[in-house]
Amino acid sequence: MVLFDTHTHINDERFDADRFAVIENMRRAGVQLAVVVGDAAAQPESAFALADAYPFLYAAAGVHPHDAIKYNDAIQARIETWMAHPKAVALGEIGLDYHYDLSPRDVQKDVFARQLALARRLNKPVIIHIREAHGDAMDILRTADRPAGVLHCYTGSWESAKAYLDMGFYISLSGAVTFKNAPKLAQVAQNVPLDRLLVETDCPYMAPVPMRGQRNEPAFVAYTAQKVAELRGMDAEEFALAAYENGRRLFGIESAAQGKPT
């Protein structure tokens, strides 16, 4: 299969001991492209260093809703600087997370709106993280001058997915779609138009079945692609290639040299 892991954290310290081997594994598994997501509230340099080191890796940076309380003009300037990097393909992950409420909800909403406006000004797509906050997220997105983007690691309902699709967003499914207790994600996988669907690992989190409980890694995106293809009644290689091309289109990886399957 030709695969694109559209959301990874292989810059995470949990990969420090074997990062090179993990990257080799992903290539052997058919992962031709991956996006490494950096934390702009800390040090996003690690994501961009990996993108510089490997031609098939790209980078994103933004302030996660957990860290919204840290957002300030200096961090916004840092994001702007990193978005000028030649391997920067998206601003994110940004959004709302009401599960942990590590930043006050009013602050999360304000910072989400500010980063959406920044992405629009910089002409970058956004990677959106929403957890237990779809109503507020849709209210913000409906009134914003929206950039392109993706709902990453989507775990919401089909009804919510339809609303995001109507606003022009892509939907990305993670290993959660392989879990036995995920009937609503099966419905999402079956109904999202093929040209708006992506797959990801969100590694080191959310390892798919049969690797559930292990540290996730980009090679495991193959299991997610296979499950989504099964749910859609499609050939796995056909689905994986479609999702790959969707990711290239969203993130602007256009030329053969940047992302042609090998």
Question: Alpha carbon of 73 to those of 56, 107, 111, 118, 177: distances in Å?
Answer: 32, 14, 11, 12, 38
Helix (H) or strand (E) holding 137: helix 134-143
How far apart CA 65 and CA 185 sit, in angstroms, is 23
How far apart CA 35 and CA 50 sit, in angstroms, is 10
- Is 129 annotated as ligand-binding? yes
- φ/ψ of residue 260, rounded to 5: -75, 135
Number of C-alpha atoms within 13 angstroms, CB side, residue 104? Answer: 6
- Is 93 annotated as ligand-binding? yes
CA dihedral 59, 63, 65, 69 (to 10 degrees): 170
- Is 202 annotated as ligand-binding? yes
- Is 134 annotated as ligand-binding? no
Q: How many CB atoms lie within 10 A of CB 104?
A: 11
- Is 85 annotated as ligand-binding? no
- Annotated binding residues, written as ranges, equal 7, 9, 93, 129, 152, 202
- Annotated binding residues for a divalent metal cation, written as ranges, equal 7, 9, 93, 129, 152, 202
